[in-house]
C-alpha cells in the first residue's frame, strides 16, 4: 500500500488520542516502545489488552477492549494478527462514531476490514508504524545514526 507523505502527516498532526490494541507491558516489545514514544510526544495513549487490566501504562489504566473506553479516540492502532482485525474494526466503528483513523502496524493488513472502515469515512493505514512515520515526517528519525549528527560522511 502506498500512502502520500501529506496523507500520513495530516493524520499524525490531527490525532490526539490513540487506543493501542494489543499493547504489551514488556519494554522490548514493539507495542510498548511505540506507545512510549507516542506518549512522550503530544499523544494520549489508551492501552488496550485484556491480559493487563488493572495495570497503568503511560499514565492510563489498561482496558480490556475498545468498548471499555469512555471517551472518544482519534485513532485505533492495531498490534494484533491480521485475522483479528475485522472484529477490532467492527468494535471501533461501533464504539467511536467519529473515529478518524484505523492504523494497522507493520505486518498487519486486512483488505475487507479496511474497505469497511473507509466506507464509513475512516482513514485507514495498513502495514505501517506511526512511530516510524512520525519520526520520518517530522525530522526525528534517529535510528542507526540518522539525523543525530554523530555519523557523518564529511571529513
- Say if 154 falls within a structural domain: no
Q: How many residues does the chain have?
A: 155
User: C-alpha angle with apex 91: 32 to 75, nearest 5 degrees?
Assistant: 50
- Say if 11 falls within a structural domain: yes
- Say if 152 falls within a structural domain: no
Q: Enter the pTM of the model.
A: 0.90
- Say if 127 falls within a structural domain: yes
User: C-alpha angle with apex 60: 96 to 126, nearest 5 degrees?
Assistant: 50
Strand, coil or helix: 137: helix
In angstroms, the CA 9 to CA 4 distance is 9
DSSP 145: G
**153 confidence band (pLDDT: 50, 70, 90):** very low
With 0-12 / 13-18 / 19 or more C-beta atoms within 10 angstroms meaning exposed / middle / buried, residue 104 is buried
CATH code for the domain in which residue 56 is found: 3.40.50.720
How many domains does the chain divide into?
1
The predicted structure's pLDDT at residue 44: 98
pLDDT in tens, 119-144: 999 999 999 999 999 999 998 766 55
pLDDT in tens, 59-110: 999 999 999 999 999 999 999 999 999 999 999 999 999 999 999 999 999 9
- Say if 73 falls within a structural domain: yes
What is the residue range of 139's domain? Answer: 5-145
- Say if 151 falls within a structural domain: no
- Say if 54 falls within a structural domain: yes
- Say if 84 falls within a structural domain: yes
Amino acid at each position: 500500500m502506498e500512502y502520500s507523505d501529506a496523507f500520513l502527516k495530516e493524520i499524525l498532526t490531527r490525532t490526539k488520542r490513540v487506543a493501542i490494541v494489543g499493547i504489551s507491558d514488556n519494554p522490548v516489545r514493539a507495542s510498548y516502545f511505540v506507545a512510549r514514544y507516542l506518549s512522550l510526544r503530544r499523544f494520549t495513549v489508551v492501552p488496550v489488552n485484556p491480559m493487563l487490566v488493572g495495570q497503568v501504562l503511560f499514565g492510563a489504566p489498561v482496558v480490556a477492549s475498545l468498548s471499555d473506553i469512555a471517551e472518544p479516540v482519534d485513532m485505533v492502532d492495531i498490534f494484533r494478527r491480521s485475522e483479528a482485525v475485522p472484529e477490532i474494526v467492527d468494535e471501533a466503528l461501533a464504539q467511536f462514531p467519529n473515529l478518524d483513523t484505523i492504523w494497522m502496524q507493520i505486518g498487519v493488513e486486512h483488505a475487507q476490514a479496511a474497505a469497511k472502515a473507509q466506507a464509513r469515512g475512516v482513514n485507514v493505514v495498513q502495514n505501517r508504524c506511526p512511530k516510524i512515520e512520525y519520526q520520518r515526517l517530522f525530522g526525528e528519525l534517529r535510528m542507526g545514526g540518522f539525523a543525530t549528527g554523530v555519523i557523518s560522511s564529511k571529513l
